[in-house]
Structure 1
Amino acid sequence: MKIKLFPFLSDWPLEASIDGDVITINGESIDLSGIPDGFRLPGSAVGNKFFLGGSGDYVERIGKTLHFTLRFPVQWDSPPEVMNPIEPIVIDARSGPVKFPDSAPIVIEQPVIELSEVPENG
């Protein structure tokens, strides 16, 4: 499966795994085996909130590979390379758990400033 990610500001959890033509998203199995080579289905027809369903967003089979776009939850302080990538992020997922990019917020460590006592006489 070729999964294109569409950054989506949300706190939804996202876990997915693949077994053949079945993708399981957060425990819901979606069987895409009924899509023959060269055909496509609007993403909205899948009935899962993660599948993008706007104009031009399809689940399609090209050869043996399924192609589709998923909403990818990000936070306002997620790394810029996942929030606003220069090129679309496409995952080539085969079998087992889907490895999504890390969208955890960037943690900036604050320096620790130690103040020493200043003598009264300056």
Structure 2
Amino acid sequence: MKITMFPFLSDWPLEASVSGDVITINGEEIDLSGIPDGFRLPGGAVGNKFFVGNEYVERIGKTLHFTLRLPVQWDSPEEYRNPPEPIVIDARSGPVKFPDTSPLVIPATELPDIRGGKENGGLE
């Protein structure tokens, strides 16, 4: 399976695995084996919220191609929120490794304690 990822502002969890022509997304099995070579089906017809409705699920040779929503947040890394090139995952068998879109953690900086001195330069 060739899965193109479409960044989508959401806090939905996304876990998937592949077995043959079946992709399991968050526990829901989606059997795509009925799509013959050269045919395509609108993503919205699959009935799963992760499939992008105006993109197609199609079989080219033996490989299924489709687009899934990639949940991102406003503070996810820029490379996933606005990728310069489409993110394409080649999923064969087993768990699908999606990019880690977790927000970046900026280390806290400790500021000096200035409470003990004259903050206004002695102009009290």
Counterpart AA for 1:84 = N
RMSD: 1.4
Unpaired runs of 5+ residues, structure 2, are: none
What's the TM-score, normalizing by structure 1? 0.92
Name the residue aligned to 1:86. 84
How many residue pairs end up in the alignment?
Answer: 118
Whole-Å separation in 1 of the counterparts to 2:108 and 2:28 = 41
Separation of aligned partners in 2, 1:118 and 1:42: 68
Q: Normalising to structure 2: TM-score of the pair?
A: 0.90
Give the alignment of 1:1-122 within 5 angstroms. Answer: 1-54=1-54, 57-115=55-113, 118=117
**What CA deviation, in whole Å up to 9, does each residue of 1:56-115 have, x standing for no partner?**
x10000011000000111001000000000001000010000000010001111211233
List structure 1 runs of 4+ shifted beyond 2 angstroms.
Answer: 113-119
**C-alpha distance in structure 2 between counterparts of 1:45 and 1:99, whole Å:** 25
Report % sequence identity: 76
* Deviations, residues 26-62 of structure 1 (Å, cap 9, x unaligned): 00000000101111011111000100012xx100000
Q: Distance in 2 between matches of 1:115 and 1:31?
A: 61
CA distance in 2, matches of 1:113, 1:49: 45
Unmatched segments (≥5 aa) in structure 1: none
